Structure 1
Amino acid sequence: MVVLAACSNSANTTTGSGSTNTKDAATTEPTAQTAAGGSTSATGTNTPIKVTWWHSMGGEVGKAATELVKQFNETHPDIQVEEVYQGAYDESLNKMKASMDSKSGPSLIQVYEIGSRYMIDSGAITPVQNFIDAEGYDLSQIEKNIAGYYTFDGKLYSMPFNTSNPILYYNKNLFKEAGLDPEKPPATFDEVKQDALAITNKTGKSGASFAIYGWFMEQLLANQGKEFVNNGNGRTGTATESLVNSDAAVNTLKWWKDLIDSKAAINLGRKTDDTKKAFLAGQIGMTLDSTASLRGIVDGAGSNFEVGTAFLPKASASDQGGVVVGGASLWILNNKPEAEQKAAWEFIKFLAQPESQAYWHISTGYFPITTKAYEQQSVIDNMAKYPQFKTAVDQLHATNLTTATQGAVIGVFPEARQLVESAVEETFNGKDAKAALDSAAKAITEKIGNYNKTVKK
């Protein structure tokens, strides 16, 4: 599986979807209640249950994950979690596939959101809904727009962990230099072009640059209330056809191409790392990136310029849509003893606690998955220090949960994203947008069909 990270198209490292945090700003450590459930040996000696957690969190984000594991182990003597970094999401998933016929695999694994269909179809997991129902766990504390992605047929299959969505970042200094109101960012496609042209024409810098990233096309469609595949984005029935050549998709790509042709924007390729570097260097006025990049971008800009943030632009102000969450969730493997699965569930609950989520959010920039985390003083203080993050939270809460904003569910999502990216590149190079997306849609539909044939019914 050749895969792009869920919300960071850096195409190089995969430290978790969209994470670009450059400083460890954690000031508060999570607390936990001790969980029961240790095993007793034949000699009567209590032996902690071992939970092996495979994840794809590297760098500063990985340090935050390690700290959470440490806190859990210190407060849960009957359970000990061993974290194992397994590389990028696709590497980790391939290793899990190889381990499924043996006992060498994990108890718990972090999987990017676009791997959800495969995880369900694999038959290798125990839905977390089973544990939720068994103890009456209160799901109302979990953000509904985040839980919505991982809910299928009314059942939560995995627990959200690292979560983000895309927002518009803009350089307030360049806005002022171009005669634009720095407190009034563009909200529609037309406004993006107008503001970008003003920056290009009046400052000598490029107005914008958006990485050629399939995730952005999915988001721009969802923001118009449009689905990526048929059958309710694969949620009311198994997806069988790509809708990436819909009128909305074609018009979106034409707008994007027009930004390039009119010199309102420049094309810097597929890597969000490249657009981010250009933005931080003051070379472009606007870019799209993950909310998980916010801390790194604001810190990176420092005193050079003021970073503004805004909702993902809509095709039209009247569009009724929203954003789809990106990131990853935690899945419990069913080839482990029941006690080990329950222990993994205890760890999941610990990670979902407000204190844990406050620490995770502050350390990484990812959304808290539980609403009560926002009541933690550490989060309140962090929001005051980084007011731009309110944009991300407001955008999440302003999104109505529909099949479009829940996100598409297909077993060949990585391949689909690459096909969309190729179509965008072809269009930028002169191919008709409709023709390019028709070809992509046909190829994606064929791959969906081949995948569906492999799934046991």
Structure 2
Amino acid sequence: MKSPARVLLAGVAAVATVGALVGCSAAGGDGGESDSKIELRVATFPPGADAAAYEAFATQEKQFEKLNPDIDIIGVEYEWEGPTFAVQLAGGSLPDVFTVPFTDAKTLLENKQLMDVTDEMNDLGYTDSFNPIILDAVTGDDGHIYGFPRQAYANALSYNRELFEAAGLDPDSPPTTWDEVREYAKKISDATGKAGYSQMAINNTGGWQLTTATAARGGRTQTDNEDGSATSTIDNDATKAALQFLHDLKWEDGSFGSKIDLDWGTINQEFAAGNIGMYTTGSDIYTALVRDFGLNPDVYGMTVIPVEGEDGGPLGGGDIAVMSPTIDDQTKAAGVKWIDWYYMQKLLNEDAAVQDAKALADSDQAVGTPVLPVLSRELYEESLTWIEPYINVPREQMKPFTDNIWDQTPVGEPKKSTQEVYALLDEVVQTVLTDENADIDALLAQAQTDAQAILDE
């Protein structure tokens, strides 16, 4: 369920599918020279990314290896997905350097499955630079730091401008309330036969997006207690309203569409194919839509998610660059160099930002996709001026988001047993979408009881 300044928080959900990336690793010279190099396996893109993405990575790989001739970068296909990640981690099949969502970091810390990088973070001077709320996501109970926050986002409403126009809607004036989302969805469905609105429902993403819809309506599915425990609050008016919204689109309006078994990858595929008018997901989704799913940039639009009530806000998330605690000291040192060069320097340094943007733009990769800063809003906005000549995303089509996101207050994802509770909520979403007479009150009451049992384990 993947997905950087101000008031950030924690997480999203999605697959650790791993395979060697063919053709992206330098040969390393003759046998003796190759043997003296440290091989570093690093995460690259999900399976199915376009060739241009690998071309950009190959350019960046060569740039890094020129600066670090003793390190041989080996790119590995990688996509995080909740249900399979633990198996990949336990089996040792992950790259040496990979990324995880904020939501998984605490569980991995508790299980001692991340490398301690406290000294390295201090030596690089980053410890005091991060938003403290974001840094907390990678800080263990021992006060040590176990990863580098690299990117954050807010959930937003993505929409198809072409389907808007076909339904007689103005794509520059997207909906601002949930009632309008429902109204627009029906118009799109009636005019085009496509799903006016759709939502993820499986592989933990149904729970993620139900939590997103709850937060947007001012509710919370979990509260933290002072003793470190957590209380499930799933059975609340906002979650009920979110489920009733799905019920009404599906069973009263007929605007939800027939596919109710979508997750992060398949909903993006459907959207890129022009089969969905609107859906909610992270604000950083444009890059993946174009790179991995073949979206036509001209049809894309994005706006802030509608919020209601005093505490309504977009659910935030992001990911962290981490390393396995089983790698040796040499590999760890090489991994820190890669993380600093590939992920961090472009957030802080103009020359690094320009070099990164140029490499991406030269391979027709997205530059300038809206994200939330992990450092500060001021530095993020300054970095956009550094890379202005290379920005190639249709930011005018995203102005409803970029003009309004700073007026919203992001909400953190639940911190405890996040993925387990998301999986539980998948079933609630699926029931509402498959059973017209589903008892939403009973579903929420049972889900709250079941979630509390998970939290108390």
Q: TM-score w.r.t. structure 1 length?
A: 0.71
User: Does 1:363 find its partner at 2:365?
Assistant: yes
Question: Is the Cα–Cα contact under 8 Å of residues 162 and 366 in structure 1 kept in the other structure?
Answer: no
Q: CA deviation at 1:184?
A: 1.6
Distance 1:174 1:116, change over 3 A: same
266-275 or 341-350: bigger deviation:
266-275
Alignment-derived partner of residue 198 in structure 2: 209
Q: TM-score w.r.t. structure 2 length?
A: 0.71
Q: Which of 413, 416, 420 is residue 410 of structure 1 equivalent to?
A: 416
Distance 1:254 1:187, change over 3 A: same
Q: Any gaps of 5 or more consecutive residues in structure 1?
A: 17-45, 451-457
Task: Give the RMSD, CA atoms, in angstroms.
Answer: 4.1
Q: CA deviation at 1:263?
A: 1.1
Q: CA deviation at 1:250?
A: 1.4
Question: Is the Cα–Cα contact under 8 Å of residues 163 and 366 in structure 1 kept in the other structure?
Answer: no
Distance 1:176 1:256, change over 3 A: same
Q: CA deviation at 1:205?
A: 4.9
Identity score, percent = 22
Question: Is the Cα–Cα contact under 8 Å of residues 149 and 406 in structure 1 kept in the other structure?
Answer: no
User: Does 1:187 find its partner at 2:176?
Assistant: yes
Distance 1:172 1:95, change over 3 A: closer
Show CA shifts across 1:45-73 (max 9, x none). Answer: x9555544456743337725555444322
Show CA shifts across 1:184-237 (max 9, x none). Answer: 2112211212222333455655432223222211222233454332216xxx65
Q: Which of 238, 243, 246 is residue 228 of structure 2 equivalent to?
A: 238
Question: Is the Cα–Cα contact under 8 Å of residues 40 and 331 in structure 2 kept in the other structure?
Answer: yes
Within-5 A mapping of 1:136-147: 136-137=125-126, 140=129
Distance 1:322 1:15, change over 3 A: farther
- Secondary structure of 2:183 counterpart: helix
Alignment-derived partner of residue 443 in structure 1: 450
Within-5 A mapping of 1:274-353: 274-276=266-268, 278-280=270-272, 282-295=274-287, 297=289, 302=296, 306-315=299-308, 319-326=311-318, 328-351=319-342, 352-353=344-345
The aligned amino acid for 2:301 is G
Structure 2: distance between partners of 1:181 and 1:95 = 45
Question: Is the Cα–Cα contact under 8 Å of residues 182 and 249 in structure 2 kept in the other structure?
Answer: yes
Q: CA deviation at 1:9?
A: 7.8
Q: Which of 155, 161, 179 is residue 166 of structure 1 equivalent to?
A: 155
Q: CA deviation at 1:86?
A: 5.9
Q: CA deviation at 1:363?
A: 3.0
- Secondary structure of 1:363 counterpart: coil
Structure 1: distance between partners of 2:384 and 2:136 = 20
User: Does 1:77 find its partner at 2:65?
Assistant: no
Alignment-derived partner of residue 6 in structure 2: none
Structure 2: distance between partners of 1:184 and 1:144 = 35
Alignment-derived partner of residue 382 in structure 1: 392
User: Does 1:427 find its partner at 2:408?
Assistant: no
Structure 2: distance between partners of 1:53 and 1:282 = 33
Question: Is the Cα–Cα contact under 8 Å of residues 424 and 436 in structure 1 kept in the other structure?
Answer: no
Q: CA deviation at 1:391?
A: 5.2
The aligned amino acid for 2:414 is A
Structure 2: distance between partners of 1:336 and 1:302 = 41
Q: Give the aligned length.
A: 401
Distance 1:69 1:389, change over 3 A: farther
Q: CA deviation at 1:393?
A: 5.0
Q: CA deviation at 1:400?
A: 3.1
Q: CA deviation at 1:423?
A: 0.5
The aligned amino acid for 1:183 is D
Alignment-derived partner of residue 8 in structure 2: none
The aligned amino acid for 1:118 is T
Q: Which of 112, 116, 121 is residue 105 of structure 2 equivalent to?
A: 116
- Secondary structure of 1:382 counterpart: coil
Alignment-derived partner of residue 89 in structure 2: 96
Distance 1:417 1:375, change over 3 A: same
Alignment-derived partner of residue 60 in structure 1: 49
Structure 1: distance between partners of 2:91 and 2:190 = 55
Structure 2: distance between partners of 1:431 and 1:94 = 34
Show CA shifts across 1:365-389 (max 9, x none). Answer: 5847662542333675324x44334
Q: Which of 95, 120, 123 is residue 131 of structure 1 equivalent to?
A: 120
Structure 2: distance between partners of 1:151 and 1:86 = 24
- Secondary structure of 2:149 counterpart: strand
Structure 1: distance between partners of 2:269 and 2:332 = 43
Structure 2: distance between partners of 1:390 and 1:287 = 17
Distance 1:60 1:391, change over 3 A: farther
Show CA shifts across 1:156-185 (max 9, x none). Answer: 532134654432223334434544333221
Structure 2: distance between partners of 1:388 and 1:314 = 21
Structure 1: distance between partners of 2:57 and 2:196 = 37
Distance 1:68 1:435, change over 3 A: farther
- Secondary structure of 2:122 counterpart: helix
- Secondary structure of 1:269 counterpart: coil
Q: CA deviation at 1:407?
A: 1.7
Structure 1: distance between partners of 2:331 and 2:46 = 23
Q: CA deviation at 1:78?
A: 4.0
Q: Any gaps of 5 or more consecutive residues in structure 2?
A: 4-10, 20-34, 347-351
Show CA shifts across 1:10-40 (max 9, x none). Answer: 88x9699xxxxxxxxxxxxxxxxxxxxxxxx
Question: Is the Cα–Cα contact under 8 Å of residues 56 and 87 in structure 1 kept in the other structure?
Answer: yes
Alignment-derived partner of residue 32 in structure 2: none
